[in-house]
Amino acid sequence: MVVTSARLYEEEKVLEALNPKLRQLLIERGFKELTEPQLRAIPLIIEGKNVLLIAPTGTGKTEAALLPILSEMLSLKDEGIKLLYITPLRALNRDLLDRIKWWADKLGLKVGVRHGDTEQRERYRQSRDPPDILITTPETFQAILSGRVLRKHLRHVKWVIVDEVHELAEDKRGVQLSLALERLRYIRGGDVQVIGLSATVGSPEEVAKFLVGNSRDFKVVKVDLRRGMKLKVVFPKPNAIDAKLAERIYVHPEVAARLRYIKEIISKKRAVLVFTNTRSMAEILASRFKVWDSTFPISVHHGSLSKLSRESAEEGLKVGDLRGLVCTSSLELGIDVGRVDLVIQYMSPRQVTRLVQRVGRAGHKIGLTAEGIIITSDEEDTLEAMVIARRALKGHLEPIKIPEKPYDVLCHQIVALFQLKNKWKLKEILELYSKAYPYKDLTESNLIRLISYMHERYPRLAWFGKEDHVVLKPRRVRAIYEYFFSNLSMIPEEKQYLVIDTNSGNAVGILDESFVAEYGEPGVKFVFRGSLWRIKSIEGDRIYVVPVDDPTGAIPSWIGEEIPVPFEVANEVGKIKSLIEELANEEEELIKVLSAHYPIDRRHLKRILKPYLNHVRRGYPLPTDRRVVLESHGNYVILYTHLGTLGNRALARLLADYLAKRLGTSVGVQQDAYAIILQSPTKLDPLELKDALINLTKYEPLEVLLRSVTKLGLFKRRLIHVARRFGAISKDVDYSSIGLRKLVEMFRGSVIYEEALKEFISKDVNLEVVKDFLNKLKKGELELVVNEAEDLTPLSELTLRRISQRLEVVAPERMERLILEATKARLLSEVRTFLCLDCRDWYEDLKVSDFLQYLKCPKCGSKRIGILREGREFLDRITSKKWRNLSRKEKEALSRAKALAELIEKYGAPAVVAGVARNLTIKQIESICRKYSELNDGFYLEIINAEREALKRKYW
C-alpha cells in the first residue's frame, strides 16, 4: 500500500484524538498504521455518533470500535459497567476476551464475560466488583437487566457495541435486543452510544435504524477494501481413479470426484475451510474423508458438537495440526481459527450473503485476496452457483428484512418492565417501546389488543384497566417470573424425533422438528443416512418407518435445515436457460458469452450445458424465466418454475389444495427452487394441472393460502413456537400430542394465531413472488407449456438423476460396512480430556487415536487415566480449587472419569474407545470390554448396537 502525505496527516489527526497511553500501546501492539475502517470510524465514535461499521473480516473492526471508547473511558472516574460488548455467539466471547483483555490490563481496566455457563463464583464477583467492560450475549443481557444488583451497575453504561449485527437484525433475537436497549436507556435515564460491527450487510440503512432505534441519528461507515475476492465454480468430472475410490468408500463416482478434488486442494494449502449448508452434510463429508484416509488432517465443526470438539478443531487449524475444517455457519462469524488460505463451498451456497460471509474468512488480512471455490454436485447446482458467484463479485447482497412488531417478543418485554416498577400507563409503554425500530409502527390499538390478552389469560401476565389504561403487575408474581426467565431466548427449541425401523426394532437415528413439520406424514418416503425409508406412523416423539427400494419421490432428511434460494437467484438461472435455448445451435458463442459473465471455465461449462442443449435440440421446450413447463411421469407431474424456494413452496401448497378439492383425493407435493413435484394415488393429468394454474390466476394468493394454512405442518410448527414464546403451551409439547385442528381452535382470533400467521408468511413462503407469477400468467407474459413426450426427456432424466445422486442412497449390502467404517473413524477421531487420576499433574485434550499410542500417563506412567467431555478449562477450575468444594456437575463428571479409569487400567484400548461412544453407561462399556480384548470389527459392531439401544432408551 502506498502511503500518501494526505493519509499520514489524516492518521496523525486520528491518533492525536486518542489518549497518549493508547498511542503508546498501539506501538507496543505492533500497529504500523491504522486501517481504513479505523481511520474513518474512530473520529465519529469520539464525536459520540452512533455508528454502523461495515468492513471485511480481518480489517481491525474491533479495534476501530474499542480504541476510541477506551480512550474516553480513561477519563471516567465512576464505578460500574461502562461498555457492553454484545455478540451473538458464546464462542466469540472467548476470542474477544483475550483480545480486549490485552488492552484493558495495560490500561488498568477490568473486563468480564457473562453468559449462561458463567460460574456462580464469577457472577457473585461481578455483582460486588463490576468490570468496566462486560462481554455478553443478547440472552444474558436480558437476565442482567433483570438482576437487582447488576441493573444498578448498568446505570453507568455509556457505550454498547453489537458485533456481527447482521446475524441478529433479521430475527426475533435482534428484536428482543432492540427492546432491551430501550429498557437500558430507561434505566440510565438517558441515551447510550451504539456501535454495530459487520462484514456483510445487505441493507445498511435499515440495519443501522434497527441498531440505534427509531428517529435517532447514525452514521454508516462502509469500507469496501475490494480485497479482490476471487471466486470460481468447479464441477469435478469423475475418472477411473474416482470409480475405484467410489467402490472403496461406498459412494457414487461423482461424489468420489468431489472428495478427491477437495483433498488435492487441502494438501496444497496450509489451512482451508470447507463450508456445507447443513450439519448433516458436514458430518457426512467429514466422515467420508475419515473412512477414505483416517490420517488425513481434516475435522468437522458445527453448532451441535460439544464445546471441547469445536475448540479442539479451531485450535488444530490455528496451530497447523489440521489443514482443513468441514464446517457450517458456525464458522461464518469471526471465531479465530488463524489464517485461512482458501474457502471451499461444498455445493451451491444458495444465497449471496452466505457466500460473501464465508469466503471473507479467507485471506483475513488487509491486502490479501479472499479466495473461494464452489464445488457443485450437478448441472442445476452449477448454474445456481454461477449466478450466486457473479452476484457476490458485483456486491449484490440479499436485503435484510427486520421482523415487524412481533407480539411474542413484545409480550415478554412488557413483563420485563414489571422488574422496574409495578404500575405503568399504557402510553408510557407505547412511548418507550415504539422508539425501537421494529416497533416504529406500533399503535395504541395494537398494544391494547396484546395487553388485553395478557390480562385475560391464566395465569395473568399483566393486569389491565381498560378504562384508565393502567397496566399493573399481577399478584401471582411467581408465574410471571417463571414465564420471563424460561423465555429469555427467542431461538425456537427444535424438538427431535427418534426414528425406529418397525421390522427390526432398531433405532435408525434422530430427525429434526423442521423436517417432521413439513414432511412428517404416514406414506412419505425419505432418505436417512444413505437408506430409503417410508413413514408408517408417528407416535409421540417416535417415528416408525419401514425400508423401501424405490427412491422416486423420496426427500433428503436434511432438507428441513436447508437455506432458501431467493427468487432473484432462481430467476437468473431461468435467464441463463433462456440464453441456452437462444444459442443452442451456436455452442461456442454460448460458452464464450457465459464464461465472460460468470466465474467458471469453458471445460466445466461445456459439461453442464450438455443435457440442456440435448433437450432443446430434440425439440423439447426448456423451462426459462419466461416459460413454465409441465411434464408427466407415472403418478408424478413436474412443474418447472423459477420462483426460488419460498415462491415454489407457496405455489406448491396452493396447487395441492386446489387439486385435492377438485379431484377429491390428497395430493402430495415437494419442491426446490426450480421445480414442483406433485403426486397423487391416481395418475395426475398435466392438463389438469395446467387448468389449475389458470384458475388460480382468478384469486388472491393470500386468500387461497389462508383457507388451507391450518392444514400445513409448517404453520403448525410456527403456531407451536409462538405459543411456547407466549408461555401458552409447555415447551415439551410435540406435534403428535396436539392435533392441528385443536391447536387452531385454541388460538384462532388471538394475538398468538396472528403472530404465527405473520411469521409463517414472512419466513416460510413468498406470496409476493407467487402473486407476480400468477399476474404474468394471466396477462400472457409467461408461456405455459405441457410437454407431452412419452419417454423421459433429457431434462427429466437430469431431474431424476439429480434426485438419486442428491439422496446418495447406498445399496443395503454395502450399508453395514459403511456404518462400520464410519463408526470406527468417528470414535478414533473423538476429542476428549484425558486425566491421570494418580498423579493429577497430567491432563490434556487429545484425539482418541493419539491417546491409544500412550495408554498411560506420560508423567508418572500410571494407567489409571480418566476421560472427560468437559475440556481443559473445566479441569483448570477443579485444580484451582485443589479438588475441594466441587459443584454437583464437577463431582458427577469426575465420578464417571474415575469409573472409566478403572476400566482403562483393566482393559486398555477397548475401554478407551467404548468410553467415548454415545450415551453408553459404565455397565455397558464394561460388558463390551469383557467380550472383546482388541479393536476388531466385532468390537465396533457391538458398539453400534449398544449406541442404537442407548438412543432408544433416551426416548423411551
Q: 500 burial class (0-12, 13-18, 19+ CB within 10 angstroms)?
A: buried
Q: Helix, strand or coil for residue 416?
A: helix
For residue 711, how many other CB atoms are within 10 A of its CB? 15
The residues spanned by each domain of the chain are: 5-222, 407-486, 496-561, 626-790, 830-955
Query: What does the block give as the cell for 844?
Result: 490434556
When the candidates are 1.25.40, 1.10.10, 1.10.287, 1.10.3470, the CATH number that belongs to 407-486 is 1.10.10
- Please check whether residue 37 is in contact with residue 223, taking contact to mean a CB–CB distance below 8 angstroms: yes
Query: What is the per-residue pLDDT for 408?
Result: 97
For residue 449, give the nearest of 457, 458, 438, 437 by alpha carbon.
457
Query: What is the per-residue pLDDT for 790?
Result: 76
Structure letter (DSSP) for residue 601? -
- As separate numbers, helices (DSSP H) first and strands (DSSP E) second, the chain gives 40, 30
- Please check whether residue 402 is in contact with residue 169, taking contact to mean a CB–CB distance below 8 angstroms: yes
Q: Helix, strand or coil for residue 304?
A: coil
The strand order across the sheet containing 636-640 reads 668-671, 675-679, 636-640, 627-633, 783-787
Superfamily holding 5-222: P-loop containing nucleotide triphosphate hydrolases (3.40.50.300)
Query: Per-10-residue mean pLDDT for the chain, 956 residues long?
Result: 65 88 89 89 95 88 94 88 92 82 93 79 81 94 88 92 93 96 95 94 93 94 76 96 90 92 95 91 87 89 80 88 90 81 95 93 71 95 97 93 96 96 97 97 97 95 94 92 90 81 82 75 76 82 82 60 90 98 95 96 94 94 96 85 95 89 81 88 82 87 84 86 91 63 86 96 94 93 89 82 60 71 87 91 89 91 91 81 82 92 95 93 95 93 89 68
- Which residue type, as a one-letter code, is found at position 330? S
Query: What is the per-residue pLDDT for 2?
Result: 46
Rounded to whole angstroms, how far apart are CA atoms 280 and 277? Answer: 9
Q: Helix, strand or coil for residue 326?
A: strand
Query: What is the per-residue pLDDT for 955?
Result: 56
- Please check whether residue 565 is in contact with residue 645, taking contact to mean a CB–CB distance below 8 angstroms: yes
Query: What is the per-residue pLDDT for 523?
Result: 81
Do you find a cis peptide bond into 459, omega within 30 degrees of 0? Answer: yes
Rounded to whole angstroms, how far apart are CA atoms 350 and 555? Answer: 18
The residues with which 637 forms a beta bridge, in sequence order, are: 632, 678
Look-up of cell digits 411469521? 759
The torsion defined by the Cα of 21, 25, 26 and 32, in degrees rounded to 10, comes to 120
Those residues with Cβ within 8 angstroms of residue 332's Cβ, 6 or more apart along the chain or in another chain: 275, 354, 357, 358, 361
The residues with which 534 forms a beta bridge, in sequence order, are: 525, 546
Cα angle 155-156-158, degrees, rounded to a multiple of 5: 115
Query: What is the per-residue pLDDT for 872?
Result: 79
Query: What does the block give as the cell for 621?
Result: 421446450
Query: What is the per-residue pLDDT for 8?
Result: 74
Query: What is the per-residue pLDDT for 780?
Result: 92
- Please check whether residue 168 is in contact with residue 211, taking contact to mean a CB–CB distance below 8 angstroms: no
Whether the domain at 5-222 and the domain at 407-486 fall into the same CATH topology: no
Distances (CA, A) of 591 to 583, 587, 603, 608, 932: 9, 6, 9, 11, 60
- Please check whether residue 83 is in contact with residue 136, taking contact to mean a CB–CB distance below 8 angstroms: no
Q: Helix, strand or coil for residue 198?
A: strand
- Which residue type, as a one-letter code, is found at position 381? D
The residues with which 600 forms a beta bridge, in sequence order, are: 233
Query: What is the per-residue pLDDT for 956?
Result: 57
- Please check whether residue 563 is in contact with residue 646, taking contact to mean a CB–CB distance below 8 angstroms: no
Query: What is the per-residue pLDDT for 392?
Result: 94
- Please check whether residue 860 is in contact with residue 842, taking contact to mean a CB–CB distance below 8 angstroms: yes
Instruction: List b or e across 821-852, with b for residues whose CB sees 16 or more CB atoms inside 10 angstroms.
Output: bbbbbbbbbbbbbbbbbbeeebbebbbbbebe
Rounded to whole angstroms, how far apart are CA atoms 157 and 134? Answer: 10
Rounded to whole angstroms, how far apart are CA atoms 859 and 710? Answer: 65
Query: What is the per-residue pLDDT for 227?
Result: 57
- Please check whether residue 414 is in contact with residue 429, taking contact to mean a CB–CB distance below 8 angstroms: yes
Rounded to whole angstroms, how far apart are CA atoms 519 and 499? Answer: 14
* Rounded CA Rg of the chain: 29
Q: At what angle do helices 888-907 and 872-880 cross, to 10 degrees?
A: 110
DSSP 690-738: HHHHHHHTTS-HHHHHHHHGGG-HHHHHHHHHHHHHTTSS-TT--TTTS
Structure letter (DSSP) for residue 257? H
The residues with which 531 forms a beta bridge, in sequence order, are: 528
For residue 698, how many other CB atoms are within 10 A of its CB? 9
